[in-house]
Structure 1
Amino acid sequence: MTEDALVIFTPSGKRGRFPLGTPVLTAARQLGVDLDSVCGGRGICSKCQITPGYGEFPKHGVHVDADALTEWNSVEDRYKQKRGMIDGRRLGCQAKVMGDVVIDVPPESQVHKQVIRKSATERTIAMDPATKLLFVEVQEPDMHEPTGDFERLAIALRDQWQVQDVTADLALMRRLQPALRKGEWKVTVALHKGNQDASSRILDIWPGFHEGPILGLAIDLGSTTIAAHLCDLTDGRVLASSGLMNPQIRFGEDLMSRVSYAMMNPGGDVEMTRAVREAINALSASIAAEANTLPTNVYEVVFVCNPVMHHLLLGIDPVELGQAPFALATSGSLSLDARDLDLTHLNAAARVYILPCIAGHVGADCAAVALSEEPNKSDDMVLIVDVGTNAEILLGNKTRVLACSSPTGPAFEGAQISSGQRAAPGAIERVHIDPITKEPRFRVIGSELWSDDPEFAAATATTGITGICGSGIIEAVAEMRMAGLVDARGLIGSAEQTGTERSVPEGRTHSYMLHDGSADGGPRIMVTQGDIRAIQLAKSALYAGARLLMDEMGVDHVDRVTLAGAFGAHISPKHAMVLGMIPDAPLEKVTSAGNAAGTGARIALCSAAARSQIEKTVHDIHKVETAIEPRFQEHFVNANAIPHAVDPFPELGLIVTLPDVSFNTASGGGDSNRRRRRG
């Protein structure tokens, strides 16, 4: 029997081996995992709640037995009885490690709360919501013309609002007569207009004239984060935007690892469905509170999501999406009752609309990006990249649009990075390295000051400097390349080769010391050779997907590039191009669309006409399957170089000259066999 066990924390991805009997809280502290505790581990504050995962975790290469943690104890039982605790959670100070285990740290247990950077993008939307408030005057009952109250309400809607066919559920029927009589035969109804030939449905009714509120939720259900916009359905105003981590991360950080979890754990898909629905309920309650309203004022929800999230939201086993031909259970748009998805916090009659998917691995989120950015109406050749754990890519113009999905993994989100963390106060998000002195300066989330500013220490005293997030690691690696600390193959040079003591030896490789906070009890934030490799793999997948679409389109360059997604909004175009994340283009033609998928969801929420439009558009978008295309691997290998082994970057070369260095460890790290690489 082994004397220690492997402990893996999500969403940070940090892992380590610990002696059996080690409290989870102790393991978290030793690994630098962001797990809160106020009471010092005495089981009083409950800040250290964690959620263990059991079963097969192919992504992490472990099997977690049911007895991987010590049994539920009296301290936990007492806390749950008195204050309540979500089923399946444990207290990190009480649960002890007894075997290999995967442990998720939920957002509320993190000291540095995640910043879900998916705020609403300003957009003018022609209002045509599927759910509207209509005021009607209903004919009073007449003994000589015996018709029911509902039938006369339907006639009034037809005559006054040209609504031809209406239905209502039994719950509304029970409230119909009191409302009509209290309003003296004048009522306001919340009417949901059905798609195409479908009948309209009365969702709610009020006596007399009622102004609302009548609200809707536009939700971008991503594999890493869930972002929501609460909108007023009368004028489209965004009342609040909020988000949280997708709790499915504990089952796997990328989509295929979640499919594998469902394959290898009977009932695993049900477990993941339950987790995400509970999270959406919690998010709907919190975003309503932020807007000082009630979630029961929400009458409609629009979802956009990738195919795996789509199936898991609906409660459909995603196993078929894990193998060719990657068949979807359904690809069309869906209209459902919110209660079908266990969304119990909303109005009892709330409706759900899910945008159509484009194909097996290109989902409703990509359709939402197409609705928002309209590449099918573009005169020039535009490449739209929604950067995330799974990147969706669109290429085209008014003559033709192509789409693909590329598995970039979680490195761009700060996961699988040695000092990586999610975007939270204290995380390094911007980096600049002096090419002469090799000294860095940086900015952290929560402060506008750079680290060489005299006021920086005071400004960051509360948050500290805790790690590096996705945009930070991208800028760090690109800056290291521009400063001659990293060569075209991604190798970090030694102190002798680079001329700086910040190049620190680690085994047979080197790391770059970005920040050393150890003197004050803080972390040493390094960029390691493993970090460089993780970024190379992620950016190569992204570039290869774009290049594959360009091959299919028969073009060698694009006129402009749009970076979509909340993460894309925080990427520096220059640094992205130095890395070779995106094809060469004039930098002024590389722009951010913000959270385009979320914007597409808002458009669909506020416009029934837009729903009809995207339902037609997806049939005209041609999907290219990267998983079975032989050229994808060739493009992937060539894209491993920084910026690229073969493709020229003439536009970048006009503003950046990359140092001619080579740190070939196999030949002792000399400068032999150097190749000139121009940006």
Structure 2
Amino acid sequence: MGSAGTDDKDPLVIFTPSGKRGRFAKGTPVLQAARALGVDLDSVCGGRGICSKCQITPSFGEFAKHGVTVHEDALSEWNEVEARYDRVKGLISGRRLGCQAKVLGDVVIDVPETSQVHRQVVRKEASTKPITMDPATRIVMVEVAEPDMHEPSGDFERLKDALAQQWDVHQVSAALPVLAKLQTVLRKGKWQISVALFQPDEGGVAQILEIWPNLHEGGIYGLAIDLGSTTIAAHLCDLTTGAVMGSAGIMNPQIRFGEDLMSRVSYAMMQEGGATEMTRAVREAINTLAGQIAEDAGIDPKLIVETVFVCNPVMHHLLLGIDPVELGQAPFALATSDALRLSAPDLGLSTLNPQAQIYLLPCIAGHVGADAAAVALSEAPEQSEDLVLIVDVGTNAEILLGNKTKVLACSSPTGPAFEGAQISSGQRAAPGAIEHIEIDPATKEPRFRVIGCDLWSDEAGFAEATAQTGITGICGSGIIEAVAEMRAAGLLDGSGLIGSAEQTGTPRSIPTGRTHEYLIFDGTATGGPRITVTQGDIRAIQLAKSALYAGARLLMDQMDVEAVDRVVLAGAFGAHISPKHAMILGMIPDAPLEKVTSAGNAAGHGARIALCNRAARKRIEGGVRAIQKVETAIEPRFQEHFVAANAIPHKTAAMPHLTTVVSLPDVNFGASGGGANDDGRRRRRRG
């Protein structure tokens, strides 16, 4: 059988969402390839096709991002073991068993979340900030007049009369499924019924979404969904009280078509039916997520009568079933940028109530989406007295800069490195993943914490506390802190080069080819992973943080300012990365550290505001027109800022606030070393 890297002519196997890849001899089982690469693919039956935990989804077509074309015969044909399992228990369409499918050609293989040993921890928790309740859907109870032979009228007409008299609602409509059960419900309730009334505009037309006999005490619910490039996060909210009944998330299955947005646009362009395939995948995932979150909360999903979506423009179009091809080329035209009002059947969301209403926040511009609008709704930069920079970091960063005078917005393509992807030991946030790290500047020894354990690795009881999860890899917050700590400890110079053992004074700096890597943890003696930060990891983080900084700096240019008063870090990143590490890395412009704060999941909170307050929908629909859009893809200065930001923390920008907190070593591990020495000299002069 095969092993990774056997021969350049052997088939290339690429696993998503991890991004891990290797070449394997033809006939290698997918499960074996996954284990050789350290891919998180479950199996407990020893590869006999019994447990089904190793299910995978192969993808076919042209993948420009990965530089491969996957043919239909890239895997061995369906065998009797798979056929038997499908007959007995059923396999989801398109799935294969990793222990049975064998590699025959270049292939891209997605490992669905259900097949991963270490499931992702959703880090987009609901904000606790208060929301004024004024939902578009409410429950009202009415007493309907009984039919009278002397005054003939239909039951629905008498229901409308009751709503007008008892609730001052004068324009009412109902879909056929509601009308079909109206007579039964009325008589069961002895002419008293509860009505879920959807009225998006005060005094406007109301739609009856659901009816129940007598008083309905089961409540009605809505979903606020942040549809991200990497993660789909949802909050289930009580539409009467606004209480969050549950939060859950899953990975966006579109990752297998490309980790970043432009890769997905490219897939849609080059693969016939590619956009349709991605639309189907994300809608299926949303249906699954809705069912999961309702089940966890002990709620009938048919009581979910509203859903609000926020997403970037590419996700927006693919959710709607619109080909995103125009978003892949200037002038980046959206099919529509307005807010949209739809129903659950329009998006194939069969898990919800059949009459459930869908609201999509407006997009701001070609690459500045409804997620940025949601952040603006949550953080209200237009009401700020001081100049605030709001950064919502994900695979695509949404950046807002403004105050009461004006607000600017842009989107910056940071890529998936901040999510732990494209990192040698990287993984999604899951129990066992390193999330925080410190490196002693004197000894160069690391200590770390993993998700699921509050102890540091050098504290008593750590080994016992992590025995079940193990130490499995490093997630996005961990790799960001690791790079910043390496810079502060003198393991990394200003240009991003890792020094040798002789240069750094630690055997943890290990040669690998022409570069070096820093060893954080070696668990190979007990069958665990070897976790390092490689030169390639540093470059991936440099590219991501440079794009983020360049976007922020571009907005500052447009505002004609050299500094901001405060910085708000939003998203999963914002809640888990310390301001000091963000500043050392040079992700954000220099600012007083006490003025760098976390807003948590601002986009998700904005979605909840729109779900629970119909006036907020009007406010953001008007507000996006006042936001000035800056398109990074066509701004010449973006590239200038990007190149200068490649240094850690920055090649030219002054960092006066950072230097009061930390003194970065003046080290240079390259041949010329200008960048690092320049940084050091500038810092000494300012001191």
Encode CA deviations 1:455-502: one digit per residue, 9 max, x unaligned: 111111111111111000000000000001101000111111111111
* Match status 1:14 vs 2:2: no
Counterparts of 1:425 and 1:389, CA distance in 2 = 21
One-letter amino acid of the counterpart of residue 423, structure 2: I
Sort the Cα spacing of 1:671 and 1:369 in 2 relative to 1 into closer, same or farther, 3 A: closer
Encode CA deviations 1:568-589: one digit per residue, 9 max, x unaligned: 2111110000000001111111
Counterparts of 1:22 and 1:9, CA distance in 2 = 14
TM-superposed deviation, 1:665: 4.1
* Match status 1:294 vs 2:300: yes
TM-superposed deviation, 1:3: 5.0
Equivalent pair of 2:438/2:482 in contact (CA under 8 Å): yes
Equivalent pair of 1:664/1:670 in contact (CA under 8 Å): no
Q: Specify which of 210, 220, 229 is matched with residue 223 of structure 1.
A: 229
Sort the Cα spacing of 1:505 and 1:646 in 2 relative to 1 into closer, same or farther, 3 A: same
Counterpart position of 1:307: 313
Q: Specify which of 400, 403, 417 is matched with residue 406 of structure 2.
A: 400
Counterpart position of 1:171: 177
One-letter amino acid of the counterpart of residue 635, structure 1: H
Q: Specify which of 15, 40, 56 is matched with residue 34 of structure 1.
A: 40
Counterparts of 1:670 and 1:123, CA distance in 2 = 43
Equivalent pair of 2:200/2:614 in contact (CA under 8 Å): no
* Aligned positions, number: 678
Q: Specify which of 631, 646, 649 is matched with residue 640 of structure 1.
A: 646
Q: Secondary structure at the match of 2:215?
A: coil
Equivalent pair of 1:305/1:365 in contact (CA under 8 Å): yes
Counterpart position of 1:495: 501
Equivalent pair of 1:488/1:677 in contact (CA under 8 Å): no
Q: Specify which of 242, 259, 262 is matched with residue 268 of structure 2.
A: 262
Counterpart position of 2:550: 544
Counterpart position of 2:168: 162
Counterparts of 1:239 and 1:521, CA distance in 2 = 40
Equivalent pair of 2:494/2:675 in contact (CA under 8 Å): no
Equivalent pair of 1:388/1:565 in contact (CA under 8 Å): yes
* Match status 1:606 vs 2:612: yes
* Match status 1:381 vs 2:387: yes
Higher alpha-carbon deviation: 117-126 or 465-474: 117-126
1:393-472 maps to which residues of 2 (within 5 A)? 393-472=399-478
TM-superposed deviation, 1:36: 0.4
* Match status 1:628 vs 2:656: no
Counterpart position of 2:3: none
Q: Specify which of 522, 542, 559 is matched with residue 516 of structure 1.
A: 522
Q: Specify which of 169, 177, 184 is matched with residue 190 of structure 2.
A: 184
Counterpart position of 1:566: 572
Counterparts of 2:149 and 2:659, CA distance in 1 = 86
TM-superposed deviation, 1:670: 13
Equivalent pair of 1:308/1:321 in contact (CA under 8 Å): yes
Counterparts of 2:88 and 2:547, CA distance in 1 = 50
Q: Secondary structure at the match of 1:153?
A: helix
One-letter amino acid of the counterpart of residue 232, structure 1: D
Encode CA deviations 1:75-129: one digit per residue, 9 max, x unaligned: 1111111111110000000000000000000011001111111111102111111
Q: Any unmatched runs of 5+ in structure 1?
A: none
Q: Secondary structure at the match of 1:567?
A: helix
One-letter amino acid of the counterpart of residue 150, structure 2: H
Sort the Cα spacing of 1:674 and 1:362 in 2 relative to 1 into closer, same or farther, 3 A: closer
Higher alpha-carbon deviation: 155-164 or 615-624: 155-164
TM-superposed deviation, 1:518: 1.6
1:58-77 maps to which residues of 2 (within 5 A)? 58-77=64-83
Sort the Cα spacing of 1:577 and 1:670 in 2 relative to 1 into closer, same or farther, 3 A: closer
Higher alpha-carbon deviation: 669-678 or 314-323: 669-678
Sort the Cα spacing of 1:136 and 1:671 in 2 relative to 1 into closer, same or farther, 3 A: closer
TM-superposed deviation, 1:530: 0.6
TM-superposed deviation, 1:180: 1.9
Counterparts of 1:181 and 1:42, CA distance in 2 = 57
Equivalent pair of 2:42/2:53 in contact (CA under 8 Å): yes
Q: Specify which of 41, 52, 56 is matched with residue 46 of structure 1.
A: 52
Counterpart position of 1:97: 103
Counterpart position of 1:659: 665
Equivalent pair of 1:215/1:230 in contact (CA under 8 Å): yes
Equivalent pair of 1:517/1:523 in contact (CA under 8 Å): yes
Counterparts of 1:593 and 1:363, CA distance in 2 = 19
Counterpart position of 1:319: 325
Question: TM-score with structure 1 length normalisation?
Answer: 0.98
Q: Any unmatched runs of 5+ in structure 2?
A: 1-6
Q: Secondary structure at the match of 2:572?
A: coil
Counterpart position of 1:676: 681
One-letter amino acid of the counterpart of residue 535, structure 1: I
Q: Secondary structure at the match of 2:237?
A: strand
Counterparts of 1:242 and 1:125, CA distance in 2 = 20
Q: Specify which of 144, 147, 150 is matched with residue 150 of structure 2.
A: 144
TM-superposed deviation, 1:35: 0.3
Counterparts of 2:675 and 2:355, CA distance in 1 = 70
Encode CA deviations 1:632-671: one digit per residue, 9 max, x unaligned: 000000000100111111111111110011111468x999
Counterpart position of 2:492: 486
Equivalent pair of 2:665/2:680 in contact (CA under 8 Å): no
Equivalent pair of 2:652/2:679 in contact (CA under 8 Å): no
TM-superposed deviation, 1:186: 1.8
TM-superposed deviation, 1:615: 0.8
Counterpart position of 1:531: 537
Q: Secondary structure at the match of 2:400?
A: strand
Q: Secondary structure at the match of 1:384?
A: strand
Equivalent pair of 1:385/1:392 in contact (CA under 8 Å): yes
Equivalent pair of 2:178/2:209 in contact (CA under 8 Å): yes
One-letter amino acid of the counterpart of residue 681, structure 2: R
Equivalent pair of 2:291/2:351 in contact (CA under 8 Å): yes
RMSD: 1.6
One-letter amino acid of the counterpart of residue 482, structure 1: A
Q: Secondary structure at the match of 1:326?
A: coil
TM-superposed deviation, 1:673: 7.9
Counterpart position of 2:588: 582
Q: Specify which of 355, 359, 365 is matched with residue 353 of structure 1.
A: 359
TM-superposed deviation, 1:146: 2.8
1:126-141 maps to which residues of 2 (within 5 A)? 126-141=132-147
TM-superposed deviation, 1:425: 0.9
Counterpart position of 2:350: 344
Counterparts of 2:19 and 2:121, CA distance in 1 = 18
Q: Secondary structure at the match of 2:65?
A: coil
Counterparts of 2:362 and 2:237, CA distance in 1 = 21
Counterparts of 1:329 and 1:674, CA distance in 2 = 46
Q: Specify which of 473, 478, 484 is matched with residue 479 of structure 2.
A: 473
1:243-262 maps to which residues of 2 (within 5 A)? 243-262=249-268
Encode CA deviations 1:250-279: one digit per residue, 9 max, x unaligned: 000000000000000010000000000110
Encode CA deviations 1:513-560: one digit per residue, 9 max, x unaligned: 111112222111111111100000000000000000000011111111
One-letter amino acid of the counterpart of residue 223, structure 1: S
Q: Secondary structure at the match of 1:615?
A: helix
Q: Secondary structure at the match of 1:223?
A: coil
Q: Secondary structure at the match of 2:11?
A: strand
